[in-house]
Amino acid sequence: MSSIEKKKFGTSELFIKPIGRIDVTSTPELENEVNSEIESISYLTIDMSEVDYISSVGLRALLSFQKQLASKGEMKIINVKPEVLEIFAMVGFDKVLNII
Amino acid sequence: MYKTIELKALTDNYASLSEWLEGIIASFGISGKLANKINVCSEEIFVNIASYAYPEETGQVKVLLSKEGNEIILKFEDEGFEYNPLQKEDPDITLSYDKRPIGGLGIFMVKEMSKNVEYERKNNKNILTITFNTD
């Protein structure tokens, strides 16, 4: 991943836009960006419009965010490209994640 | 004819593997979904080997890639302890998020994305051969 765009709205809402691949090299950075805020936020939006690759390490991170937010708010995944949606569907994440 | 790279089995070396693969995949004239599948499968297997094959002293991983007719063959060889990843039970992908374990998707994805996966133990090596169809 070359970079991550990050915006905070108020105190409870975080917007994250990863750019590039979500793989074993880049996922720790994504986890750091989200986990540093996850205690205080209730809503997380991940914009996937610039992501064309995700591996199981990245999927694991998304599931972990979802588990942490479900009890107190919501995680939304938006603008998913077809190639990534295909991977979500392959592992059943199209049913467990809130994909818009 | 196989193209080959040999790397120390460290997760940090995945970037080198990925770069090498991109070049070979492009030279085979492959792009889009198939290129993505080859990349994802390579990452899953490489990371597995880097994480588990050598619990003590880190060893090597050899990765081989070839195009034969309408098939792409991707092979991983390591000298770590004997482990057949295909024996791992597939995850239940119908469970709701709160019941799903966090991990266990990698090998399942490799099986789903490829035409065939075979494991053999030979000369003290784990050899995993993954085949993809180009059409």
Instruction: Set out the domains of chain A in order of their start, with CATH numbers.
Output: 3-96 (3.30.750.24)
- For residue B99, the model assigns a pLDDT of 86
- For residue B104, the model assigns a pLDDT of 83
As a whole number of angstroms, the distance between CA A84 and CA A49 comes to 10
Radius of gyration of chain A (CA): 12
Helices B32-52 and A56-70: crossing angle in degrees, nearest 10, is 80
More confident residue, B96 or B123: B123
Whole-number average pLDDT of chain A: 94
A92 interaction partners in chain B (CB closer than 8 Å): 93-95
Contact between A76 and A41 (Cβ < 8 Å): no
Tokens 């880190």, located at residue: B58
Arithmetic mean of pLDDT, B25-38: 94
B102 has a pLDDT exceeding 80: no
Instruction: Give the residue numbers spanning the domain of B87.
Output: 3-133
Which band of pLDDT confidence, cut at 50, 70 and 90, is reported for residue B27?
very high
- For residue B96, the model assigns a pLDDT of 86
> The dihedral of CA A41, A14, A51, A33: what is its sign?
negative
As a whole number of angstroms, the distance between CA B32 and CA B14 comes to 20
> For position B83, which CATH number holds?
3.30.565.10
14-73 in chain A: CB under 8 A from chain B = 23-25, 52-53, 55-57, 59-60, 63-64, 66-67, 70
B108 has a pLDDT exceeding 70: yes
Contact between B46 and B8 (Cβ < 8 Å): no
Whole-number average pLDDT of chain B: 95
Q: For residue B49, give the 3-state DSSP assignment.
A: helix
Residue A87 forms contact with B (CB below 8 Å): yes
Cβ neighbours of residue A40 closer than 8 Å, sequence gap 6 or more: A11, A12
ipTM of the shown complex: 0.91
Q: For residue B4, give the 3-state DSSP assignment.
A: strand
Tokens 């939006």, located at residue: A45
Contact between A55 and B43 (Cβ < 8 Å): yes
- For residue B103, the model assigns a pLDDT of 77
For chain A, give percent helix, strand, coil, nearest 5. Answer: 35, 30, 30
Mutation target among B98, B105, B109, B113 for the A interface, most CBs of A within 10 A = B105
For residue B77, list its beta bridge partners. B62, B127
**For chain B, how many structural domains are there in total?**
1
Low-confidence ranges of chain A (pLDDT < 70): 1-2
For chain B, give percent helix, strand, coil, nearest 5. Answer: 35, 30, 35
Arithmetic mean of pLDDT, B97-125: 92
Which band of pLDDT confidence, cut at 50, 70 and 90, is reported for residue B107?
very high
Tokens 């994805």, located at residue: B109
Residue A83 forms contact with B (CB below 8 Å): yes
- For residue A1, the model assigns a pLDDT of 52
